[in-house]
Chain A
């Protein structure tokens, strides 16, 4: 049932939505603000799409969110304020860039953590000298036999 609902939701969203993104929307009068708004839109996730920002998406709700972004920027909100506004409603999910907080320290640190770990393992295995295993009693006897034979041949 869930599957059908999701598929239908997407189909509805797509069929109802206008196709061209942001085109019938009026850009803000102030070009600097419009640029700020557009940059912000690229950082906000379209909450019903797969992996699209609201800037890229054709979905209806993306268009609503774009309007909200424009309105708030025009009103004087900073991009951070607008992000906070949307996070209040949709959670951190709406940010394409995961926030930097306790629960994401590991995520953001992962390149360095992994690099450090791997380099450590690599360097450690280099330092370990290759020491040949000591011979077992049989092998020792064998060796002596060969050496003894050589002595005889001489």
Chain B
């Protein structure tokens, strides 16, 4: 019954989306206000229906209704509650319904929060958004219906991959999807602007908060995935340049460029073409990611079951949405009036450089991800493109960006003065070089890349600090410092915090990669091994029973060479029953200086066990850096100046 209700709601949503995607355009053409309001009404209606559908599906999972095919294929009565819920979107059909729920949520939000937008424009935006909802609903209803029934219903479900039964992973997809889908708002704004034939600073002011929200979720979603991989996959890796990981990274790069580009449109009425293009491209990358996971074109740990038939449908959708919007761009771009001029050295130019480097890197990641496919199609052999290539791309393109990041905030609009900025930043350069040389010398000239990474990270951090000092006249006029600090707009703090986050992230990456210590050995109870400055004593194993697994748990005692006892580590080697799967659960002790990481493996006979121990210094920089970035975004978002829409025209009494 409930599943049928869900099915019905899905179809209702489809009808509403169809109306919402078509009628408002007619309304605009006829200047018929009532037809235009169809956009707002259907937006709310779609969301309601999507909510009911999603609720129905979730309910079916919660009560383990195995007569519903999706539930039987992906769930199990023994699964803990949280993972039953997470199982709703942990598969192809359910994740599509989540897309629809979020797309329609944003459409409804646009309708509610966008009341200050001129009606005609708002109607266009919502109509475009509804068209996106329509596309996904068509896909669901015709090829990927989660409400299909199984007759007879099986007694037990197929369970969910035990690797996915994890709190980090329960939240990773929804957050990521909020990011992906959030970019659809910028997309809809861009397409609407192209249809209307103009982009104004007001447009940018509207696009920025929505994009910022999407960017924040995307950042959080990506880093959550990395964090999950780090503690779940058992050897401390956190980024593998897997095609689907790349498919989340590319929209992030473009969204970052978009955020910065929109600033220029807002402040200087320039870079309109760039910004519109970035808005379209960012969401296109989101869609590309969805495509790659489901089409079977590329293999990936993230891939849902490969199904070329569905893949062709999504490809068609991509051609219409991405191809259509880019065709629209090609056609209407000349209508966008070129904006304010700016000098070769100016904040605008710095932001153009930012756009260029980020977009180029996104392009390089795309090429790397798809290159094996090109070669295969051209019968030119089979290669694999792994980390070495992407890291090379990152170094070539992101290093200049980090350097420019220091200068950018110090350059004035329209015409900046480089010598002046350079003088302000000279201390930063000096400190960075000192750090680099020290590291290089200390490691006997071994690790050039490490030194380079630390130079960049130090430079960035120091630049941010110096920029704040400059802005608050800390050194020139110390007495006014506090007053100025209070007066600094939140968006400015947001920027500084986010850029600091980048520096911290870079520190985390560089330090943990360079100085991780690893020991692989066979230990028996009583043995002690040393990693870093820590002694790890193996105290034995014990059997453990979980809700749907049995495990061997090793317990270790960690102490610092001089500071004494630190804590315990208890890695597990688990055997799940349904489906049968063997996994390792690493045990991590997060300390200020780094992570102690232990993995237990097979028995080596005679009471001895194979063990892998690590000390990873400052790996928390990764999580902390990302958190700072998200926090910075939040601060910017909370800046009242950004959230106010078009101020109501002041009513001035006409002179009598």
Count of residues in B whose CB is under 8 Å from the partner chain: 56
How long is the Cα–Cα vector from A19 to B356 in the complex, in angstroms? 44
CB–CB B242/A51 < 8 A: yes
A residues less than 8 Å from B352 (CB atoms): 122
CB–CB A20/B301 < 8 A: no
How long is the Cα–Cα vector from A110 to B371 in the complex, in angstroms? 11
A residues less than 8 Å from B371 (CB atoms): 98, 104, 107
CB–CB A56/B237 < 8 A: yes
B17 CB → nearest A CB, Å: 32
CB–CB A14/B397 < 8 A: no
CB–CB A51/B386 < 8 A: yes
CB–CB A103/B612 < 8 A: no
A residues less than 8 Å from B584 (CB atoms): 19-20
- Asked if A146 lies at the interface with its beta carbon under 8 angstroms from chain B, I say no
How long is the Cα–Cα vector from A96 to B599 in the complex, in angstroms? 25
* Neighbour of A50 across the interface among B300, B522, B601, CB < 8 A: B300
Task: Tell me which of A67-75, A111-119, A134-142 binds B.
Answer: A111-119
* Neighbour of A107 across the interface among B300, B367, B520, CB < 8 A: B367
CB–CB A23/B611 < 8 A: yes
Task: Tell me which of B47-55, B449-457, B575-583 binds A.
Answer: B575-583
- Asked if B530 lies at the interface with its beta carbon under 8 angstroms from chain A, I say no
The SS class assigned to the B binding surface is mixed
CB–CB A15/B383 < 8 A: no
CB–CB B396/A23 < 8 A: no
A125 CB → nearest B CB, Å: 8
* Neighbour of B301 across the interface among A51, A56, A106, CB < 8 A: A51
How long is the Cα–Cα vector from A115 to B384 in the complex, in angstroms? 23
A43 to B, closest residue via Cβ: B388
Given known A20-B602, A20-B610, A122-B352, contact A96–B387 (CB-CB < 8 A) = yes
B235 to A, closest residue via Cβ: A56
8 Å CB contacts to B: which residues of A108-154? 108, 110-112, 114-115, 118-119, 122, 130
* Neighbour of A114 across the interface among B240, B300, B363, B599, CB < 8 A: B363
CB–CB A14/B581 < 8 A: yes
8 Å CB contacts to B: which residues of A82-111? 91-99, 103-104, 106-108, 110-111
B residues less than 8 Å from A20 (CB atoms): 520, 584, 599-602, 610-612
CB–CB A103/B356 < 8 A: no
A residues less than 8 Å from B311 (CB atoms): none
How long is the Cα–Cα vector from A4 to B341 in the complex, in angstroms? 60
Given contacts A20-B584, A96-B388, 17 further A-B contacts (CB under 8 A): A14-B582, A18-B602, A18-B610, A19-B584, A20-B601, A20-B611, A21-B235, A21-B520, A23-B602, A24-B602, A43-B388, A93-B382, A95-B384, A110-B367, A110-B393, A111-B397, A112-B396
Pick 10 A–B contacts, CB within 8 A, sort by A: A15-B581, A18-B610, A20-B610, A24-B602, A50-B299, A92-B382, A107-B371, A115-B397, A118-B356, A130-B338
